[in-house]
Structure 1
């Protein structure tokens, strides 16, 4: 059933969708910069503007599965961290379209996984400090700012920063992540002392040469024994994220098989 004028549309139940703020670290920057992918809109409203990756919510999907599918369909990346951020609604954000509520997730992608920020179709990666010059659709600029603020409030926990740099890292690499997140230059010796004193890093026994610097010890994040297993109710990482990935892939295979069976049935009906 179609909708009438704007006044009538605003009285209808809102559509509900999911959006994802995907954050990755610039692998080529000495002090690090955060990048995120945006999608160029191909229809009104905001035709030609940039928007967050997103998609619909289906009855046979959980919210997390919908967010994961939106992420993979946009970037073909596998996040190291996924968390429900906030629900954004209100009659003004649709700009004359159908009222819309967005359940937003934020995701962290490891440095090695992000690679060279390859572009595809209408998807392009942008550095966080250059977003001000872009035409960004809806209230997505505010949503991005909300996600960045959430990340910065978590910077005191080494496990969050480690998810941006990868499973193993040097202290200089971790230092670059902290500078990228905070947007400030941090004294490296003081940073080293703080991280080593946290009790959450352990040496792997490997070393890595970084440019002209002498080989540096490689570390991994190890949670303290007194750390809660799931400190944030809607955070997904580690084995739980691997399980989510497996579920999403199984659903995609099932949907593909169903579509192929439907095409075969249609062909049988229309072939003489």
Structure 2
């Protein structure tokens, strides 16, 4: 049997990371600029080869850390992309992971084969190499569908938040404006928000009531199954 070095790459299987962020009311995505290789100078998803010695989860976290400096986030696997012609020089299957994070919590440090790492609003993403445009498009669709199935992104807003802040988050994820009274009625009807009996402070406008996410109520609802009709 052929023996492969433990740290050697499996150069037919790669990892790509879709890291979404929410800041300034906008949904953004983390990209790296390739510093070498056939796509040198182009912006792309953070990605690289899996090593023989690591699991795919370990590989995803290592690649993201080495290319961008982003660590300690929960990465969820979406799907594999394996079109025969997705990579120009050989057959490569890539496994895509996703996360939704708060960009201000991370300091980017481009490294390894990346010349730069930056956040881009999803509507300002440049043309990406390989099939990364398709991956981004499917990732955004996945995020929208997930947002309609379950509450997501509560780590992106304060622990105590207003309904307007929550609506802004969902508008950014769904990419559409939502009717304010309708959103509030439906989100409160789901009964996984807890009223804090507090109002905003240090605001120039009328202070709004604050809420918090009640995870126990949500888990009970999730077990029953439900869909957001936003």
Q: Say whether the 8 Å CA contact 2:100–2:153 is kept in structure 1.
A: no
Could you say which structure has the higher helix fraction? 1
Aligned CA-pair RMSD? 2.7
State the match for 2:26 in structure 1: 33
Q: Say whether the 8 Å CA contact 1:111–1:166 is kept in structure 2.
A: no
Q: How much does 1:113 deviate? A: 2.6
Question: Which of 31, 42, 45 is the aligned partner of 2:38?
Answer: 45
SS at match of 1:93: coil
Moved over 6 A (4+): none
* TM-score normalised over the length of structure 1: 0.67
State the match for 1:228 in structure 2: 223
Q: Say whether the 8 Å CA contact 1:158–1:200 is kept in structure 2.
A: no
Q: How much does 1:107 deviate? A: 0.6
Question: Which of 202, 206, 215 is the aligned partner of 2:207?
Answer: 215
Could you say which structure has the higher strand fraction? 2
Matches of residues 66-215 of structure 1 in structure 2 within 5 Å? Answer: 66-73=59-66, 74-79=68-73, 81-96=74-89, 98-110=90-102, 113=105, 120=110, 121-131=115-125, 134-165=126-157, 167-209=159-201, 211-215=203-207
In 2, Cα distance between the equivalents of 1:204 and 1:181?
A: 25
SS at match of 2:176: coil
Aligned pairs, number: 208
Q: Say whether the 8 Å CA contact 1:24–1:35 is kept in structure 2.
A: yes
Q: Deviations over 1:60-107 (max 9, x none)?
A: 43222222233333142543x5321110123311112x3211110111
Sort the Cα spacing of 1:55 and 1:118 in 2 relative to 1 into closer, same or farther, 3 A.
Answer: closer
In 2, Cα distance between the equivalents of 1:90 and 1:129?
A: 25
In 2, Cα distance between the equivalents of 1:126 and 1:181?
A: 14
In 2, Cα distance between the equivalents of 1:166 and 1:125?
A: 21
Q: What runs of 5+ residues in structure 2 fail to find an aligned partner?
A: 1-9
State the match for 2:15 in structure 1: 18
Indicate the structure (1 or 2) with the bigger Cα radius of gyration: 1
Q: How much does 1:176 deviate? A: 0.5
